[in-house]
């Protein structure tokens, strides 16, 4: 093998003991591959903690400054890991996103990678160094630090896989692959050996915090398989790869991180534009009679309320909690069988359905509320 990318998530690098486990893993792969590029996340809950501290200083901190702040988390991990690898006799060098040549657009807190100038990384590899790159960040045209959005280190890893034409990209975390449901919620959830990019995309869009959604799009676009594995075991793993035709249910995801907003007597275009210009991810924006309705992530709620308050001080905002249930499997909607089964179960347990949406790889059902017991029953019936 020539070049491999190894990405380690926050839990895997949380403290010095874990960094030692990670270093061991890197060394064992360095003994097999000529070039090793490591991408790291911030340690443990560092990013959350930094956000919390910033919000104690200001309810809505400037996004440019947030990028400056949050990018430091990854820098700590990368330097510590390099120090450790060097001490173990494996020459390593840490590079920040900008030192690694990662150029992004200027959308602070959710920047997109436009280009990677790989020269510096290649020079370091040439010297025999293990290159440890900070995930989640880059530099924009104005030479300001940007970040790629929460969980964005996965995207850094796959982007480097594409740019360096690496043979393999491993995303290591504390779980040993992708499961048919959240194993913390459904104990009988099973690990999948393979899942297609399209299905994985739907799982990520459904709110499962498994892989950063943009890394999946990138893997699909450039046909680069991604391997999700555990840092703490050699067993298991899931390969995310091109579609092999199938029509089974692969995964069930429940998303509670949603909020529906209703606004009366306002202009459709004004509100919509205001949200879009402020980079709010809006789902299902619609107008019924005099009411505008849309859905956002709970985490964006404060920002949206603040925006509406300052731009439309007289508008009446109502909010409703809701949940989304996603049944993922490429081709499952080609006949009505799976949908029929789902509806039967939801009816039996008197779940109030608000909306049903179908895509090629997913049945998505919005409900007022659904408890884990019913998700478990769905899993039992739908996943063989």
Give contact residues for ligand ASP (rule: CB under 6 A): 10, 41-42, 47, 73, 135-136, 150-153
Q: With respect to ligand ASP, which residue has the nearer C-beta, 67 or 194? A: 67
Tell me the closest approach of the beta carbon of residue 219 to Mg ion, in angstroms. 15
Tell me the closest approach of the beta carbon of residue 195 to Mg ion, in angstroms. 17
Tell me the closest approach of the beta carbon of residue 280 to Mg ion, in angstroms. 22
Tell me the closest approach of the beta carbon of residue 314 to Mg ion, in angstroms. 41
Q: With respect to ligand ASP, which residue has the nearer C-beta, 208 or 366? A: 208
Q: With respect to ligand ASP, which residue has the nearer C-beta, 218 or 271? A: 218
* SS3 annotation, the chain: CCEEEEEECHHHHCCHHHHHHHHHHHHHHHCCCCEEEEEECCCCCHHHHHHHHHHHHCCCCCHHHHHHHHHHHHHHHHHHHHHHHHHCCCCEEEECCCCCCEEECCCCCCCCEEEECCHHHHHHHHCCCEEEEECCEEECCCCCEEECCCCCHHHHHHHHHHHCCCCEEEEEECCCCCECCCCCCCCCCCECCEEEHHHHHHHHHCCCCCCCHHHHHHHHHCCCCEEEEECCCCCCCEEEECCCCCCCCCEEEEEEEEEEEEEECCCHHHHHHHHHHCCCCCEEEEEECCEEEEEEEHHHHHHHHHHHHHHCCCCCEEEEEEEEEEEECCCCCCCCHHHHHHHHHHHHCCCCEEEEEEECCEEEEEECCCCHHHHHHHHHHHCC
Q: With respect to ligand ASP, which residue has the nearer C-beta, 139 or 263? A: 139
Tell me the closest approach of the beta carbon of residue 41 to ligand ASP, in angstroms. 3
Q: With respect to ligand ASP, which residue has the nearer C-beta, 135 or 329? A: 135
Tell me the closest approach of the beta carbon of residue 47 to ligand ASP, in angstroms. 3
Q: With respect to ligand ASP, which residue has the nearer C-beta, 134 or 266? A: 134
Chain residues binding Mg ion by CB under 5 A are 9, 151
């Amino acid at each position: 093998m020539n070049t491999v990318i190894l990405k380690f998530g926050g839990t895997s690098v949380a403290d010095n003991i874990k960094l030692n486990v990670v270093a061991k893993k890197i060394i064992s792969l360095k003994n097999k591959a000529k070039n090793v590029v490591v991408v790291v996340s911030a340690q443990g809950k560092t990013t959350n903690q930094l956000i919390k501290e910033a919000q104690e200083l200001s309810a809505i901190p400037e996004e440019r400054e947030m990028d400056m702040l949050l990018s430091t988390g990854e820098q700590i991990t990368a330097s510590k890991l390099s120090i450790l690898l060097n001490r173990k006799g494996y020459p390593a060098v840490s590079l920040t996103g900008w030192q690694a040549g990662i150029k992004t657009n200027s959308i602070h807190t959710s920047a997109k990678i436009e280009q990677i100038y790989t020269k510096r990384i290649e020079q370091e590899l040439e010297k025999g160094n293990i290159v440890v790159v900070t995930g989640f960040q880059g530099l924009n045209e104005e030479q300001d630090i940007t970040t790629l959005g929460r969980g964005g280190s996965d995207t850094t890893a796959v982007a480097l896989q594409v740019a360096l034409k690496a043979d393999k990209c491993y995303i290591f975390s504390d779980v040993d692959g992708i499961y048919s449901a959240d194993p913390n919620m459904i104990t009988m959830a099973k690990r999948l050996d393979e899942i297609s990019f399209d299905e994985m995309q739907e799982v990520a869009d459904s709110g499962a915090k498994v892989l950063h959604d943009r890394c999946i799009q990138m893997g699909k676009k450039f046909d680069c398989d991604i391997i999700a594995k555990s840092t703490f075991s050699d067993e298991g793993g899931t390969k995310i790869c091109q579609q092999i035709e199938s029509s089974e249910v692969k995964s069930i995801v429940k998303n509670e991180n949603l909020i529906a907003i209703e606004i009366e007597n306002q202009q459709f275009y004004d509100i919509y534009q205001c949200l879009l210009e402020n980079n709010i991810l809006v789902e299902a924006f619609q107008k019924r009679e005099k009411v505008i309705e849309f859905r956002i992530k709970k985490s964006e709620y404060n920002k949206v309320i603040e925006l509406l308050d300052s731009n439309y001080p007289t508008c009446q905002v109502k909010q409703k909690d809701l949940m989304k249930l996603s049944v993922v499997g490429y081709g499952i909607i080609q006949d009505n069988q799976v949908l029929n089964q789902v509806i039967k179960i939801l009816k039996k347990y008197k779940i109030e359905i608000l909306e049903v949406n179908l895509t090629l790889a997913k049945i998505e059902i919005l409900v007022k509320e659904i408890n884990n017991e019913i998700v478990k029953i769905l899993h039992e019936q739908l996943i063989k």
